[in-house]
Structure 1
Amino acid sequence: MGSGTKLPVWICMVWLIAGLASGDEEVLRCYECNNTDTSCGSPGNSLGNVRECPNSTMCSTIVMTHSLGQGKEWTRTKRGCSEQVVIYQVYVNKDWVKKYRINELKEGCTKADRSVQCNCHGSLCNSGIRGLSKSPTLLILLAIVCTKVILPV
């Protein structure tokens, strides 16, 4: 093989470049499934399909709990693009023109009567697990690992 450091340097560079580039996605992607999909959000099951969200800046997860009586509950999860589009009309040249605006929502969770709605920034953030591709901590960790591999102490 000759040089023992060329392969680790190459791998480290690819990791770091991929990690930095993943933060600049043009279109947000979110997991999507509706509350009739019984596997959505269940342990060991799919998080839903991946959908592009050109009209959103956030992903959402809504967990609804219904009481079945006798202390039993039924929980359903809905994932998708946050509903941020506000439709309004403007009077232009003697005619009403429909306009659209994306309303920025507060990041985090709000609890209502029997549901919890969460909104988050970043592609695929509505998995319930923080996305690793956008984590600055991950990039720092990769840089440290690469430094240890390239420059052994």
Structure 2
Amino acid sequence: MVQSEGAYQAGQLLARGVARYLRSLDFSCVQEFVPARGLRVDVAALGPKGEIWVVECKSCRADFAADSKWKGYLEWADRFFWAVDADFPIGILPDETGLILADGFGAEIVRWGPETLLAPSRRKVQTLKLARAAMFRLQTARDPLLSPS
């Protein structure tokens, strides 16, 4: 079933635009991904060289202010980005993080955050988690009688 544009929340539209843009950079994305217990990132992206990026989508100042977990995401990615729309007050975002301007149709990187490479063992675990999450979702989409994992 395809959702109408109005059925999406603002953050979901940003995540869709980010995923479309990252696809153009040859990244595969999983939205609403859990890298570790108690954490859920808006977009986790796996690049062509095995790099892992995390993108947190913020639709307004209050959405950003309510996010107290974002620093915990840094240890699960090689790069971290915020994704916001053109009306977002970007001055409140930490300068030491990446920035993507997005809407429901696309995005672009405005500021690159620092690259902090994951340890090889963590990269392997996260890559397997990403692959399994994507496969479970695809299998569930193709066979609705399966329960999501």
Q: TM-score range by the shorter chain?
A: under 0.3
- Relative to its length, the structure with more strand (as a share) is 1
Name the larger-Rg structure. Answer: 1
- Relative to its length, the structure with more helix (as a share) is 2
Task: Normalising by structure 1, report the TM-score.
Answer: 0.23
Higher relative contact order (CA 8 A, sep 6+): 1
